[in-house]
Amino acid sequence: MKAGADLTDFRSVAIVAVGSNLTHDGKTPEKTVTAAVSALAATGFDVRAVSRFYDTPAFPTGSGPDFVNACAAYETTWPADRGLAHLHKAEAQFGRERAKRWAARTLDLDLIALGDAVVPDRAKVETWMSLPLELQGQATPSELLLPHPRMHERAFVLIPMADIAPTWRHPLLGRSVAEMVAALPGYMTEDVSVRPETATGR
């Protein structure tokens, strides 16, 4: 399934944000993203859709080279914790090192959502959703949180996700991906640009 294909039944669908801004083993970030999407599909996740690839400035500003970002949707029967462990294993296979928060990386795989699951509970996710920006770089959750507590603020997640799942609805905010994209400040959406070679989908 290519970019532009909309999923409508998300009950067993994992949405994964994929990004890279460092070369690894001779692979450019774009090639790493392509290889990672395929690697996940071959080892336990059944790929349903993949977005176009986008060029995105590193966050926070000045923290590294621009990223290549995408989103992929996978059918899975795995619980959230097992899915996350699978993503971390894949990151390690592509040379990911966790030296510090928001550092440049060979591969970043974030589990953004698993259907409409709220993990571990609404109160904890909402606490992290409301964390001030100045604390986000200092504090790291000790457990998996779903949906990702910062997804609604991040153009580099929402814009690729809108390629494949614009109707997915945030279980706490009640807004669809398309609605969350529309609510982003204009400068954020302008920063995220589709790579020319992927403009017609993959």
The answer to whether residue 105 is catalytic is yes
| Catalytic, out of 55, 110, 163, 191 | 110
Angle at 42 between CA 165 and CA 73, to 5 degrees: 5
Q: How many CB atoms lie within 10 A of CB 55?
A: 18
Angle between helices 80-93 and 29-42 (to 10 degrees): 130
The answer to whether residue 82 is catalytic is no
Burial (CB count within 10 angstroms: exposed 0-12, middle 13-18, buried 19+), residue 46: middle
Residue 88 in tokens: 């971390």
DSSP-assigned letter for residue 24: B
Cα separation, 12 vs 122, in Å, equals: 20
The answer to whether residue 9 is catalytic is no
| Catalytic, out of 46, 66, 96, 202 | 96
Where helices occur in the chain by DSSP H, the ranges are 29-42, 80-93, 122-129, 133-136, 155-164, 177-182, 186-191
Active site amino acids: 96, 105, 108, 110
